[in-house]
Amino acid sequence: MDKSWIDEKDRFSSKYTAGVESFIQFSRKNIVEFDNKILCPNWLGYTKIDACKYDCALFWKENENENFCPVCKISLDS
């Protein structure tokens, strides 16, 4: 991808606007949907934390090994 348009002083020049257009087209082709996943660098890792389906509580820290929500008493598996 030609990036010479970035250094243009005149933001209304045809070279600059064509460069912006080509960048937008390039970006649209390379968009990836992540399905609401949080991406972390490999060296950071992540910990999966379950939540009640009604968002009453997180199954974390003192509730980490619980099978039922401490607030609404619904099963974690339901």
Residue 8 banded pLDDT, cuts 50, 70, 90: confident
The contacts found for 48-51 with CB under 8 angstroms, 24 or more apart, are: 50/76
Q: Tell me the pLDDT tens digit for each residue of 30-75.
A: 666 555 556 666 666 677 888 898 888 888 888 888 889 999 999 8
CB 41 within 8 A of CB 24: no
More confident residue, 43 or 13: 13
More confident residue, 11 or 45: 11
Q: Where are the domains of the chain?
A: 1-31, 36-78
| Spatial CB neighbours of 44, under 8 Å, sequence gap ≥ 6 | none
The contacts found for 27-30 with CB under 8 angstroms, 24 or more apart, are: none
- Give residue 69's pLDDT: 92
The torsion defined by the Cα of 62, 64, 67 and 71, in degrees rounded to 10, comes to 50
